[in-house]
Amino acid sequence: MTPIEKVEGRAIPLGLKNVDTDVIIPAHWLKTVSREGMGKGAFESLRADPDNLFDSAEYKGAPILIAGDNFGCGSSREHAAWALGDLGIRVVIAPSYSDIFSGNAVKNGILPVVLPQSAIDRLMEVAKTDPVHVDLDTQTVTTPFQDRFAFEIDPFRKMCLLGGLDEISLTEKSDAAIGAYEAKIAKTQSWLQPATIES
Amino acid sequence: MNQPRTLYEKIWDAHVVEQRPDGTALIFIDRHLVHEVTSPQAFAGLRSNGRTVRRPDLTLAVPDHNLPTTARKDAAGNKLPITDSESAAQLAALEKNAPEFGIRYIDAFAPEQGIVHVVGPEQGFSLPGTTIVCGDSHTACHGGIGALAFGIGTSEVEHVLATQTLLLQPAKTMEVRVEGEVGPGVSAKDIILHITGTIGAAGGTGHVIEYTGSAIRALSVEGRLTVSNMAIEGGARAGLIAPDETTFAYLKGRPYAPKGADWDAAVAYWKSIATDPGATYDKTVIIDAADIAPSVTWGTSPEDVVPITGTVPDPASFADPSKQAAAEKSLAYMGLTPGTPMSEVPVENIFIGSCTNSRIEDLRAAAAVIKGRHKADNVKWAIVVPGSGLVKAQAEAEGLDRIFTDAGLEWREPGCSACLAMNPDKVPAGERCASTSNRNFVGRQGPGARTHLVSPAMAAAAAVTGKLTDVRELMA
């Protein structure tokens, strides 16, 4: 995964609340065995409108997306994060996210920034004309107009994003603890082993 | 004396492999369900990093999303090919990956095949008190038997395959208590639609919802699975319903369920995990069951719920300006005018199925309404998709298939079908569907499709009249 620290550029002022992952990437784009090329299907229903923001000269390839409450709700499809990444989006800024989406985003080097609606409203305004600057290290979003919004992020997620870390390798360091847990369960709760069925 | 704990906290505590100083914990996963859509990239990741599946014995794979629901074999018993080449490739990938990594696999032609969330409980693979994950947000479903079950993304699928664990932040707890008795014609689906309308699509974000109260206790396991299935529609990653005698009776004797002394030990354990008296939740919502009517959605978010006796709302009636804007967009997409009675909205398509409502009880409820009647002329497409081959066989043994086909509905093979329209089952653009599925999102049932979420009995009623209908008017 590509590390992320500072992102500066235009921010797509989408602003909608409850943007579900079916809207981010419709199901028919999920019929693939690869993670690549999903940007083509990203926001398909919105981009059917020739005047959509995503394909406008101004916002095409913009690295930041601004949205409303509950971004990424619905389906767990990680394809939504892959599609955003393939569109070139590295940061989403919204008041809240679905739990599954924010996890998927982080695992794909996309930073989900949480800011209150008042900050979102201001950034939506700035984004119409000017770039937005996001700094993960200092946990701030700034604008050319001296706006400065601080955001919170889970320290583990921050570390993974800054270092571009692969979580599986980190967990493999706990191999002995996992083995000990399995041994304890096998001894004390044997019913947890699925019964064998005759085939 | 230990601090009183909730059902969620007890399951969490029992699965901590390693507690981290930052509050996260490495949590052991007891059951991993795998389907064809969200797994190929995970298997590819394992392969490219030289990793194996740590616990193939705790993993079960079954295809469901892409499978056509038309006949899978010809009259001579030959297997029919999947004509969509992308679907075929994804199905073939699972068929290859499962044996390569030593995972048990139910193939498309097995009598046990079905929607992964129907198969898990039906096979006794999903059990109370366990942690269950699947690369599918409706994994919340298994909370209906008292499992901590939640959807994960493909990176997490790969993580669980490799390590049988997930690094998680503990969730907040929320109780949704439904007290009293529901009226006639009101089903588990109406309860969860009403709850979603009450708490909102983000009402449970960051929480695990435990459904409690006499109206929940009175539900069958099928009904509980329906309720917990849609926890995610209220923003909660997982739902939970405490296991009880109803749960134990449902699970006993199922293929992967514990046997003999293991069964007794399991039941004793399951009885110990209910929320302790005095335990507190971070949030509690109390609902009077008597307030719940047969319900229907009008918009493009599952929180857009009204009783069937209600009308299409006026966007100006919402206090929140962003909700007003969303409602306007929704109504334009849905082709609805504020003030229209919901019972006057015509529907051209009927879908009875999905992991929310495709179990035997759902099919019985729909058949009871349809029996002796016929679908309306304006209903062009009406399909009934059982949740598994075993549900299908049971329904056929009870003659339900004939009730549906005599009424002009199609009786199909099991799968996810028109819930998300990855297979050929789609609702045409601009047309409406009374659907027993879980999501009314823009384009969910096909580009431009207009979805109204309802219960199986309400879908059957709509099939008969050709419009959204209060099923109570058709009940004897």
Residues B340 and B432 in one domain: yes
> What is the structure's pLDDT at B321?
87
> What is the structure's pLDDT at B441?
97
Residues B133 and B219 in one domain: no
Residues B362 and B457 in one domain: yes
ipTM exceeding 0.90, yes/no: yes
Q: How far is CA B51 from the centre of its chain?
A: 32
Question: How long a stretch of residues is chain B?
Answer: 476
Q: Which of A18, A34, A76 is opposite residue B137, by nearest beta carbon?
A: A76
The CA distance from B264 to B269, in Å, is: 9
Q: How far is A7 from chain B (nearest CA, A)?
A: 24
Confidence of residue B322 (pLDDT cuts 50, 70, 90): confident
Q: How far is B155 from chain A (nearest CA, A)?
A: 7
Q: Which of A104, A174, A192 is opposite residue B18, by nearest beta carbon?
A: A174
> How does the average pLDDT of chain B come out, rounded?
97
Q: What is the CATH number of the domain that holds B452?
A: 3.30.499.10
Question: pLDDT at residue B20 above 70?
Answer: yes
pLDDT in tens, B366-412: 999 999 999 999 999 999 999 999 999 999 999 999 999 999 999 99
Question: pLDDT at residue B104 above 90?
Answer: yes
For residues B124-153, average pLDDT: 98
> What is the structure's pLDDT at A166?
86
> What is the structure's pLDDT at B308?
98
Residues B348 and B313 in one domain: yes
Question: pLDDT at residue A199 above 70?
Answer: no
Domain that holds residue B386: 297-474
Q: How far is CA A65 from the centre of its chain?
A: 10
Q: Does residue B251 belong to any structural domain of this protein? A: no
Q: Which of A18, A78, A178 is opposite residue B153, by nearest beta carbon?
A: A78
CB contact under 8 A, A70 and B235: yes
Residues B145 and B217 in one domain: no
Out of 3.40.50.740, 3.30.70.980, 3.20.19.10, 3.40.710.10, which CATH number does the structure's domain A6-165 have? 3.20.19.10
CB contacts, 8 Å: B18 with chain A: 174, 177
> What is the structure's pLDDT at A1?
80
CB contact under 8 A, B232 and A74: yes
CB contacts, 8 Å: B206 with chain A: 99
The CA distance from A66 to A95, in Å, is: 9
Q: Residue B290: what residue type?
A: A
CB contacts, 8 Å: B445 with chain A: none
For residues B425-431, average pLDDT: 98
Q: Does residue B41 belong to any structural domain of this protein? A: yes
CB contacts, 8 Å: A47 with chain B: none
> What is the structure's pLDDT at A196?
81
CB contact under 8 A, A178 and B28: yes
CB contacts, 8 Å: B201 with chain A: 18, 70, 73
pLDDT in tens, B123-133: 999 999 999 99
Question: pLDDT at residue B1 above 60?
Answer: no
Among the listed residues A97, A191, A120, A115, the one whose alpha carbon sits nearest the alpha carbon of residue A152: A115
Residues B311 and B359 in one domain: yes
> What is the structure's pLDDT at B198?
98
Residues B455 and B349 in one domain: yes
CB contacts, 8 Å: A182 with chain B: 28, 55, 164
> What is the structure's pLDDT at A198?
59
CA dihedral angle for residue B435, residue B436, residue B437, residue B440, rounded to 10 degrees: 40
> What is the structure's pLDDT at B112?
98
Confidence of residue A149 (pLDDT cuts 50, 70, 90): very high
**Best residue in B154, B207, B230, B303 for a mutation probing chain A (most A CBs within 10 Å):** B154
CB contact under 8 A, B256 and A192: no
Question: pLDDT at residue A137 above 80?
Answer: yes
Confidence of residue B2 (pLDDT cuts 50, 70, 90): confident
pLDDT in tens, A161-190: 999 998 999 999 999 999 999 999 999 999
Residues B193 and B339 in one domain: no
CB contacts, 8 Å: A71 with chain B: none
Residues B444 and B355 in one domain: yes
Q: Does residue B115 belong to any structural domain of this protein? A: yes
CB contact under 8 A, B125 and A194: yes
pTM, rounded to two decimals: 0.96
Residues B179 and B98 in one domain: no
Chain B: residue nearest A175 by CA?
Answer: B163
Q: What is the CATH number of the domain that holds B199?
A: 3.40.1060.10
Chain B: residue nearest A82 by CA?
Answer: B154
Cβ atoms of residues B155 and A78 within 8 Å: yes
Q: Does residue B252 belong to any structural domain of this protein? A: no
CB contact under 8 A, A155 and B22: yes
Tell me the percentage of chain B whose pLDDT exceeds 90: 98
Among the listed residues B252, B437, B457, B410, the one whose alpha carbon sits nearest the alpha carbon of residue B355: B437
Residues B286 and B390 in one domain: no
The CA distance from B348 to B435, in Å, is: 11
The CA distance from A197 to A192, in Å, is: 15
> What is the structure's pLDDT at B363?
98
Domain boundary among B168, B191, B221: B168
> What is the structure's pLDDT at B263?
98
> What is the structure's pLDDT at B92?
97
pLDDT in tens, B178-236: 999 999 999 999 999 999 999 999 999 999 999 999 999 999 999 999 999 999 999 99
Residues B279 and B303 in one domain: no
pLDDT in tens, A78-119: 999 999 999 999 999 999 999 999 999 999 999 999 999 999
Domain boundary among B135, B168, B201: B168
Tell me the percentage of chain A whose pLDDT exceeds 70: 99
CB contacts, 8 Å: A194 with chain B: 31, 57-58, 125, 256
Q: Does residue B265 belong to any structural domain of this protein? A: no
Question: pLDDT at residue B95 above 80?
Answer: yes
